[in-house]
Amino acid sequence: MRIKVDSRNKKPTVFDIAAAAVAAAVIITILLFKGGEKNLIPIIGVFLCFLCCALVMLIVALIRQIEYNPYSYNTIFYTGFSIFDLSVIGTFIIILVKILADPGAYTLDNAIWTLLLSSWNYIFFTFPVVLVFSVWLCVSNISLIRHEGLRTVNILGIILSFLLVGGAVFLYAIGYYATGSEREVFFHDFIVNLLCAVYLYFECMLIGTVAADIIAAKYEPDKDKDFLIILGCGIKKDGTPTRLLQGRIDRALEFYRRQKEKTGKEIIFIPSGGKGPDEIISESASIKNYLLEQGIPEEQIIEENRSTNTAENMKFSKEIITAKNPDGKIAFSTTNYHVFRSGLLARRVKMRAVGMGAATKWYFWPNASVREFVGLLTKHLGKQILIISGLLIVYIILTFLAYR
């Protein structure tokens, strides 16, 4: 079943997960007070039921978020925490299997320790994937630097690769063995568990970012659009589109021809991009000239030639569209790695637009995902602090329970 983007008007929420967590906590507390160790299997069962319900709620929220607005950091959060939830479910299944295999040998303390080490184990078992991903980031960034030169934004992937691999190796090294007094071992494990929880959070968010980029770039909009914004980028010295810009125009033309063949509906093209100091004409004019060469009538083209960045592309294009037809359905064409960010900026100016991605060199996409990930870390700080604090509180409680 194909998920329909922008088909909902109501933003999804995940408050039901909090309600389920409170209910599970109440039931587990009652079981602990009434039977303690005797109720170990029911306690694990309640935990597992809650985690499975939470996973379903997160997946439903993710689907509804995509249907409401795929270009949202909520898409990243829901994807990342679905993966985290799935990993914890795996841990609880292991606990339940051990209890059923040997009920007398596995205690509540064993269950607490298994859960406490879940983040450390997750990092250990996912390390091969992290290593391969990090090597891929490094190789793509080296290729990017060779083609575009050494700039800060072009080495973000290399920096992140070293942080990912170095962080995992560091956590494994310090967490593998500890000596000293009971107090010293407790303090050591306390710090390691908190660091593992933080690392796990950022790993899940990175996976969520990559997934959100792919979802946005691979989506094919419905063939019912009234306007199609073509986002500008650099042009050649003679005023013709660069290969990157031509890819965006050709992608828009491909969509337009498919729509016309399928529904007969025409589209108003909005070439968007101003004139840079080193450009002989505006980017919008360069796009328009190319469209005219491809047989698009001039009356189907409205230039937006004031913008200097993607945010302004969306803002000024919206003004043109609103004046022409405020109820018109909108799509935009850009390069595949740029779709998610462009859609995000469209939503910030309250414009509902669905993107399509033109293919580009393979080494652009990894670095674009890293930039989105870095952008995520600098935004929604309140939400992130709340989530990380919740994770840390859980692991603090588990650490004290394990050493009680």
CA distance 117 to 373: 26
pLDDT category at 77 given cuts 50, 70, 90 is confident
One DSSP character per residue, 119-152 reads HHHHHHHTHHHHHHHHHHHHHHHHHHHHHH-S-G
Better-scored residue on pLDDT, 260 or 85 = 260
Listed in sequence order, the DSSP H helices in 149-242 are 156-175, 182-218
Longest alpha-carbon distance in the chain:
81
pLDDT confidence of residue 256? 96
CA distance 60 to 248: 33
Contact (CB, 8 A) for 212 and 372? yes
Write the pLDDT tens digit of every residue in 326-352: 999 999 999 988 899 899 999 999 999
Better-scored residue on pLDDT, 347 or 14 = 347
**CATH tag, 227-328:** 3.40.50.620
- 298-336 as b/e, with b when 16 or more CB fall inside 10 Å? eeebbbbbbbeebbbbbbbbbebbeeeeeeebbbbbbbb
Stretch among 41-50, 84-93, 223-232 having the lowest mean pLDDT: 84-93
Is the pLDDT reported for residue 400 higher than 80?
yes
Rounded to the nearest 5 degrees, what angle is found at the Cα of 359, between the Cα atoms of 357 and 360?
120
Write the pLDDT tens digit of every residue in 202-228: 888 888 888 888 888 888 999 999 999
pLDDT confidence of residue 367? 78
Is the pLDDT reported for residue 1 higher than 70?
no
Find the mean pLDDT for residues 109-134.
84
Tokens matching residue 166: 């170095």
Is the pLDDT reported for residue 232 higher than 80?
yes
CA distance 321 to 338: 22
Write the pLDDT tens digit of every residue in 249-293: 999 999 999 999 999 999 999 999 998 888 899 999 999 999 999
pLDDT confidence of residue 212? 87
Tokens matching residue 88: 């914890």
Q: In the chain, what are the domain boundaries?
A: 15-219+369-402, 227-328
**Tally of CB atoms within 10 A around 266:** 13
Is the pLDDT reported for residue 231 higher than 70?
yes
Find the mean pLDDT for residues 31-37.
79
Contact (CB, 8 A) for 313 and 307? yes
Percent of the chain topping pLDDT 70:
98
Mean pLDDT of the chain: 87
Q: Which residue has the tokens 């796990």?
A: 200
User: What global pTM score does this model have?
Assistant: 0.83
pLDDT confidence of residue 257? 96
Find the mean pLDDT for residues 150-154.
75
